[in-house]
Structure 1
Amino acid sequence: MQPSGPAKRGYHHGDLRNALVEAAAQLAEEGGPQAVTVRAAARAAGVTPTAAYRHFENQEQLLTAAKECAMDGLASTMQEFIDAMPPIDDPVRLAMSTLGAIARGYVYFAMTEAGLFRTAFEQGGTILEGTTLAKVDSGFQMLVQGLDKLVEVGHLSAEHRPLAEITAWSAAHGFAMLVIDGPMHDWPPDMLNDALERMLGIFVRGLTSEGADDQLTAHVLADTRRG
C-alpha cells in the first residue's frame, strides 16, 4: 500500500493508531511476523516513523497489536464456518458438526491467510497478557464449549473429556502447519482436500466414547463443507 495525500490527512482525526494496526496486519498477511516493524507500518500508512512511535514504542508493541488482529480474523473465520452449516436437529450431529466446522475454519484461515496465521502464534510480542489473551481465549473457548457440548449430549464421557481440547487443537494446528510451512505445501488442491477429509474423519471418530460411527462421520464431513 503506497502513502497517499488523503490517507495522511485522515490521521488528523485521531485514527493513526488504528491505521498503523491495519498496516501491521497487512504486513503480517503478506510477509508474516518478521515483516511487522514500526517503520514499515509507518511507511505503509503514509506517516513518519516519529509519528508512529508515538503510538507504538517498539516492534514488540506493534506485533502484539498485529497478533490481536490475526486472532480476531481466526475466530471470525471459525464462526463463519459454524454459521454456514445447514440446520441440524440431531443434538449429537450438531455438536460434532460444530467441532468439525471449527476445525475446517481453523485450517482454512491458515491456508488463505498464512501470514496472519503465523503472526497469531509468533512467540515475539505479548501473547499472555491483556486483550491478546482474551482474543486467544475467544477462539479457544469455541473449542472448549464444543467439547463440553459433546459431553452434555452424551456422546463423549466426562471421564474422556479432560484435555480433549489439546488433542483436537493439535490435530487442526498440526495439519495447518504441514500445509503452510511443511511438506504438504506444494500438494495439489485435490490431494490437500482428501487429506483434510481424512484428518477430519479421524478427528470425528476420536471424539466419542460410544465407538466409531461411520454414518455420523459422513454427516459431519458433509455438514461442514463449504462450496
Structure 2
Amino acid sequence: MTSPAVRTYHHGDLRRALIDEGLQLARTGGPGAVTLREATRAVGVSPNAAYRHFADRDALVHAVAHGAQRALADAILAHVAETPAGLSPRDAAIERLRRVGAGYIAFARTERGWFETAFFTHDAQPSEGIVTLDDEIVAPFRLLMDTLDAMVDAGALAPDRRPFAEWACWSAVHGFADIAVHGPVRWQPPEVVDALAAGVVESAITGVIGAPAPPPRTS
C-alpha cells in the first residue's frame, strides 16, 4: 500500500520535481534533510532514477540552494515593493536598502530551513569579490548590489563609497540574521528582536553612506 505522503511521479520534469521536493525537505529540516533517497521516495520513483539528473546528493543540494536563494530574493523584493510612495528619489533609494536588510532578516527568522540552505554551498572561488553559484551572482547578492547602484544614481551614495559596499551591508545583516536564528538573540521576545534588527540595519546604512558632517562650530 502506498504511503499517503508519497506523490507518485508519472511523467514530466523529474529534475524539477526532485528539486521541489528538496526544497520542501530543506524548508523544514535545512540542508541536512535533503537527500536523494527522501526526495525520490516523496516523488515516487526509485533512487536510481535520480542519478539521471543528479550525480550525487551534493548536486541535489546545490540545485536546492539555488531555489532557496530565489525564495530569499523574492521575499526581499516583497518588502521593497512596499516602499512608500511620495519619497524623494534619494530617500526612496535609502528606504529600499533599508527594506532589503529588513526583508533578509525577516526571511531568516520565518524560513530558517531555507535560510540555512541558501548559502550552504557556493562556488569555491568567488569571482571578483562577489558571491556566486555556478558562476552566477546569487540572487539576493545581486539584488543588494543593484540597490546600492541605484543609490548612487539617486545621489544617496557617493560613488567613491560604492566599491565593496555590499560586503559591509551583507556582513552586518547576515551576521545579525545568523545570531537571531542560531545565537542567543533567538531567546529574546519578538519585539526585542525587531528593535535590534532595525538598529543593525540602520547602522549598516549609516556606515555605508557615511556619517553626516558635524555642524560648524560657532564661537
**What is the TM-score when the length of structure 1 is the normalising length?**
0.82
Alignment of 1:188-207 (within 5 A): 188-207=189-208
Specify the code of the residue in structure 1 equivalent to 2:80: I
Q: Please point out which of 75, 80, 99 is paired with 2:97.
A: 99
SS of equivalent residue, structure 1 residue 211: coil
Q: Please point out which of 122, 136, 143 is paired with 1:134.
A: 136
Residue equivalent to 1:12:
10
Residue identity (%): 37
> Is 2:94–2:156's contact at 8 Å kept on the other side of the alignment?
no
Specify the code of the residue in structure 1 equivalent to 2:34: V
SS of equivalent residue, structure 1 residue 154: coil
Q: Please point out which of 68, 71, 74 is paired with 1:70.
A: 68
* 1:24-44 residue CA offsets vs partner (Å, 9 max, x unmatched): 111111111111110111122
* 1:35-63 residue CA offsets vs partner (Å, 9 max, x unmatched): 11101111222222122233222101101
- 1:69: Cα distance to partner? 0.7
Residue equivalent to 2:26:
28
Correspondence 1:114 to 2:112: yes
> Is 2:36–2:47's contact at 8 Å kept on the other side of the alignment?
yes
SS of equivalent residue, structure 1 residue 101: helix
Specify the code of the residue in structure 2 equivalent to 1:175: F
Name structure 2 gaps, 5 residues minimum.
Answer: 215-219
Name structure 1 gaps, 5 residues minimum.
Answer: 214-227
> Is 2:91–2:156's contact at 8 Å kept on the other side of the alignment?
no
Q: Please point out which of 40, 43, 47 is paired with 1:42.
A: 40
Correspondence 1:176 to 2:163: no
Residue equivalent to 2:151:
150
Change (3 A) 1:58 1:172: same
* 1:150-169 residue CA offsets vs partner (Å, 9 max, x unmatched): 22232322222211110001
Residue equivalent to 2:52:
54
> Is 1:43–1:49's contact at 8 Å kept on the other side of the alignment?
yes
CA-based RMSD of the aligned residues comes to 2.6
Does 11-20 or 164-173 show the bigger shift? 11-20
How many residues align? The count is 208
Specify the code of the residue in structure 1 equivalent to 2:166: E
**What is the TM-score when the length of structure 2 is the normalising length?**
0.84
- 1:134: Cα distance to partner? 2.9
More helix by share: 1
> Is 1:24–1:63's contact at 8 Å kept on the other side of the alignment?
yes
> Is 1:67–1:132's contact at 8 Å kept on the other side of the alignment?
no
